Amino acid sequence: MKKNTVSLHRIIQASPEKVFRAFADPIAHATWLPPYGFICTVQQMDFKIGGKFKMTFINFSTGNGHSFGGEFLEIVPNSFIKYSDRFDDPNLSGEMITAISLNKVSCGTELRVEQENIPDMIPVEMCYLGWQESLDKMKKLVEPEIPDA
């Protein structure tokens, strides 16, 4: 593994279109992205190439939060998303780059995540654990097939 980089691979039992929508929809994104114990507010999300986003993760136990935002660099519908990311906290300096790949497979979607340039103050293993929790929450959002009433 490259320094300050996390890579994850999952098979999600949902279509690439549904998984892509979990990234593209601000309400859905806020539902699954924060790790356990955190809530997320989305201040801005212009999901298009060159579009900006701004979010805050709030620790539910303490009420403390940290804000971050960035820009969508590449978007290929139902297939690929790449974005930049910066924390507002100057102690968490630098720009992270996250790439999300979605590939249709026989039982749903192969999902790959690579996040590079994680700030030195964030232990990479904690970032990896956070992504695991987030993807677990995403699976619980996109895998159920609930028919309309």
CATH H superfamily, domain 6-142? START domain (3.30.530.20)
CB 96 within 8 A of CB 83: no
pTM of the predicted structure, to 2 decimals: 0.94
What residue ranges do the domains of the chain occupy?
A: 6-142
| Cα 53 to Cα 32: distance, rounded to the nearest angstrom | 16
Read off the pLDDT of residues 58-111 as tens digits, 9 standing for 90 and up: 999 999 999 999 999 999 999 999 999 999 998 888 999 999 999 999 999 999
User: Smallest Cα–Cα separation from 39: which of 19, 62, 22, 20?
Assistant: 62
